[in-house]
Chains A and B, each alone.
Chain A
Amino acid sequence: MDSHITPIDQEFFTKLLNAPDPIAASFAEAATLEKYRRVKITKPVIYVGLTSSSEVAGAFDTYNEVQRYLTETGVDADVVTVGSLGLCSFEPMIDVQLPGKCRIVFQQVTPEKVSPILDGALNNFIPTEFALGQYRQSIHQPWPGVPYMDEISFFHSQRRLLLQNCGIIDPENISDYLSRGGYTALALVLRKHTHEAVCRIVEQSKLRGRGGGGFPTAKKWLMALQAAADQKYFICNADESDPGAFMDRLLMESDPHRVIEGLAIGAYAIGASKAIIYTRNRYRLTVERLEKALKQAYQLGLLGHNILDSGYNLDIVLRKGPGAYVCGEETALIRSLEGKRGMPESKPPYPAEKGLFGKPTVVNNIETLANVPTIIQKGGEWFAAIGTPTSTGTKIFSVAGKINSTCLVEVPMGTPLSKVVELAGGVPEGRKLKAVQIGGASGGCAVPETLNVSIDFEALVDVGLNMGSGGVTILDDTVCMIDMVKYFMHFIQKESCGKCIPCRDGSRRMLEILENITRRPVNENGHNTLERFKGVIHLESLAEVMRDTSLCGLGQTAPNPVLSTLKHFREEYEEHIFDRKCRAGVCRDLRTFYVDVEKCTGCTACARKCPTNAIIGTPRSPYFIIEDKCIGCGVCQDVCKFSAVFFK
């Protein structure tokens, strides 16, 4: 799998990047570059999408099966690793490219499908039922009966600037990235621009931080550039940790050099000679790909001493975060890099003045940095024209949950949120869309009525949402909103660093209040209802204080899920509190069980297991459950062999 760049390739690319205008040079050399882009091939190429997402779907088994198939059949073909197209639900995916034919994509290729697919494809017969689409390549012959990829609405409705290479190029081979204009932006910057000029281009692009805060990127850079210090640091925050968000991981695994190039440009812009990528230890594949990519970039002299003869030195090291959500907060991340507990610190002083080891430091999210090469290549104005006047460029979302197609999408800012849901294929048949959770554990819910909100930092805030890092969870009517909020609060409570009181104890008490609402009390009486009701009032006041006084963004935004659901789903709270009902049937304790007289055979299994003797009847005739005695434990349902027990 290791593809090392040959000395000849290396010479070619070095020359290309050393041209006075590397971007123009890459256009001039288009013909040679096509070779690296595998436009013209002499033997079949089989591409296998291997990412942390497809791994779980069994893509490595598929990969091994492809290798086994080739060995067994003796077919001479190249096997190339690629990243993710973003269609996670269709994984594992393999592409087959035959000489003179368009590259075709197959979906859900589990190992047993490898033989039939390859048997067909390698013999010019397409098993269309497995084919997803084919890439439009004018010089090649298309396959009949297979749509072009750009015709598939999932792709043509997106604007894939950051994801353009994902799932197409080999992330483990730098020449794949180079052949698509990779590192020309870095070369250009080093050759032509001053530190400040780079900051100004980014300023012109109006790029804002994609980690969730939306802080103008250039402002941070300029602050750090202007700070006088013998050493500066640039940190790429790749510690993606919002539950349900996976876009950063897939981006890094599918196109790692884009991130590295963006980081190198950023480091140059502030005059830092040391940069760090802080990703998470357990993202094994991400770590592997980044390590490989860094090694290759060093090998080509794109990192290290005197890069491309410009006199600029930059070292990038990869650090593996040991796992703490709060380390997404920049001051906590910096503490973690210093070998301390990742507890945030008060700002000011800002990291751009006093960061890692007390030196000026910029921390940028990986998606922010992945935008930078394109901004440099095409100009700030070009970038600023995409999206809305204040939120420019595109945004990647990972869409998951109760959805037909779990996926990664990239849309221009200003796109309605409903479009994202549409791209993911909507909720499963027969279900109703209930809410779209955006912004992860610190986010809020859009309901169907507000779903047309424009994806734009300010517009989202106006309807009580925030952009977050890009995790979107679709919820249908089988989801209990209280349970959802409880889930997020549980997460926050576990991940709070514990330093400041409002976040540490506030999240804990809020979780308890939510647990009380969803728990079946031992004795139900008026007092309990009152307590639960008081709890909800406390929820709001606690939320307010948490937002007002917490030390860092984690605590300040942690109440969002609560506030958002209280706004849109108040009646669901009330049902839980007063009627003791969970309409989705998720809150176990609130379920009331019934016996279906049609199905019950009177086998007595449930009655014998019931811990409160709530089930009575005569053997061999239907039993029934005394509602008052039932504690909703569900044992009866578990033991019933005739599916006669159900709950409402």
Chain B
Amino acid sequence: MLRRTLLGAAATTLALSTGAFAQDEPTKVGFVYVGPVGDGGWTYEHEQGRLAVEEAFGDQVETVFQESVPEGADAERVMTQMALSGADLIFTTSFGYMDPTINVAQKFPDVKFEHATGYKTADNVANYSARFYEGRMVQGHIAGKMTETNKIGYIASFPIPEVIRGINASFLAAKAVNPDVEFNVVWAFTWFDPAKESDAARALIEQGADVILQHTDSTAPQAAAADAGDVITFGQASDMSEYAPMPRVSSIIDNWGPYYVERVGQVMEGTWEPHSIWYGIDEGMVKIGEISDAVPEEVKAEALAMRDAIAAGELHPFTGPINRQDGTEWLAEGETADDGTLLGMDFYVEGLTGDIPN
């Protein structure tokens, strides 16, 4: 009983103090990460975003982060903790934090939340994501041109729309330049487990894949490919340039810094509004990492032209005619996919084999 009273008193004091001294106290920003900040991929880039916020606002901002937070009940505990300790804005940076974020946000109406790669919003919850599939198209093009065995291995994490979009986008681009290409998808059911990611890469390579695409967060598949020799890979979420020029020939870089700085600034000014944004190559949230010399000059030029065309809005990775895996029509000739379908994508396009687990 005593403890509860104390907690209540502490919360009241906290509320009073944040109200009274809002002008003087630094804005407190929390970050919830799914992996360790040193994963070299996804979480590493969010951490770069946090550092950009510190750099931009200096003393006016105080940031806290918690790494390796499991998606689920633990995430709610961590967010609640951050909100209780006075955070004004909390970035929750993995798809699986969506429902926990919404739940915690209901309990703390004065705290702002930003959830990455989901689709739910609320009065104090914004949603932001990047059009990684634009980068996947460029990867697919390079992969289709460079594979000699015509077997491309894909290490997928969880069967969520973001991952399925990536598989579809890269497959369509590879198929466009190489009709014989085949995709072998392995579901790792984890975002971060270097040993398992490495095992998956090895299994794919042993079965003849000479290109490995990954949608998991560590650099382990790069190490496995380097070990195997004649295999190319792409950096995922981060540049992973330590594995360039071979096996890593290019990469998709998630560039969160500018967005984080913008949103923290809005919270300071009191102009923050919930929204749902989806930025791509054009806005600079998705970047294509340097294409290494292992890629033939003409393929490199095509890939760069493709990137620029996507940025200019002249090219859409999902342009019809495209059929679904079962042969039914999805997009007619010349039609492009709308964001609604893309955000909820739960089907393979025609030509991909295997089933999506549910």
Please say whether chains A and B are actual partners in one complex: no
Which residues of B are at the interface with A, using a C-beta cutoff of 8 A? none
Which residues of A are at the interface with B, using a C-beta cutoff of 8 A? none
